[in-house]
């Protein structure tokens, strides 16, 4: 599985955890891997798979560990985001954008294998795919201030 695909799964897992208490979030993370495949048909009639978890055990372990690490650092990540997000404290941000920012900031600060530019670019791509029309610019602007 590519890093981009793993990152997208990581984003989805983190996003879903936003809606549960700590214990429930753990259960949701475990159930993520057994969720049924979902697809969607666009306006042109093209079917796109939007959720398919066909992962090797090593990828599952990697994702679970990474999501737990990020969740443990949420207070620290949010504090850093609040320092640079003028007028947009984390409590006011959309869940999609906040999750993307947390993931990207974690990668920038805690993963030496991912260059900052790559983390930012991937965050913008996630924002294009999952956020609203203003999301890519918002995510890019916040992350640029952190660099």
pLDDT at 132: 93
CA atoms within 13 A on the CB side of 88: 14
Per-residue model confidence (pLDDT) at position 30: 65
- What the chain holds in terms of domains, given with CATH numbers, is 3-146 (1.10.940.10)
Contact 25, 71 (CB under 8 A): yes
Extract the residue ranges of the chain whose pLDDT is less than 50.
none
Nearest to 38 by CA among 47, 28, 29, 27: 47
- Of 84, 91, 87, residue with least CA distance to 105: 84
Q: What is the pLDDT of residue 2?
A: 87
- Cβ-proximal residues to 112 (8 Å cutoff; 6+ apart), any chain: none
pLDDT in tens, 72-82: 999 999 999 99
Nearest C-alpha neighbor of 105 from the set 11, 4, 5: 11
pLDDT of residue 25: 63
Give the pLDDT of residue 39: 57
**What pLDDT, on a 0 to 100 scale, did the predictor assign at position 48?**
61
What per-residue confidence (pLDDT) applies to 37?
A: 61
- At 42 the pLDDT is 67
Quote the CA–CA distance of 53 and 38 in Å, as a whole number: 10
* Strands annotated E in the chain: 38-41, 47-51
- Rounded CA separation 28/17 (Å): 7
What's the pLDDT at 55?
75
- Rounded Cα gap, residues 79 and 76, in angstroms: 5
Question: What pTM does this model have?
Answer: 0.83
Q: Which residue shows structure tokens 């879903």?
A: 16
């Amino acid at each position: 599985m590519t890093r981009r695909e793993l990152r997208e799964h990581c984003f989805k897992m983190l996003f879903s955890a936003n809606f549960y208490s700590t214990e429930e979030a753990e259960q949701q993370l475990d159930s993520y891997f057994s969720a049924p495949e979902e697809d969607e048909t666009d306006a042109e009639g093209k079917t796109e798979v939007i959720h398919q978890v066909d992962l090797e055990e090593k990828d599952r372990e990697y994702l679970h560990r990474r999501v737990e690490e990020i969740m443990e650092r949420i207070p620290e990540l949010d504090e850093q985001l609040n320092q640079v997000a003028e007028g947009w404290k984390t409590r006011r941000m959309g869940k999609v954008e906040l999750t993307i920012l947390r993931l990207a900031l974690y990668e920038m600060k805690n993963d030496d294998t991912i260059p900052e530019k790559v983390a930012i670019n991937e965050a913008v791509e996630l924002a294009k795919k999952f956020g609203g029309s203003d999301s890519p610019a918002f995510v890019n602007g916040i992350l640029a201030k952190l660099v």
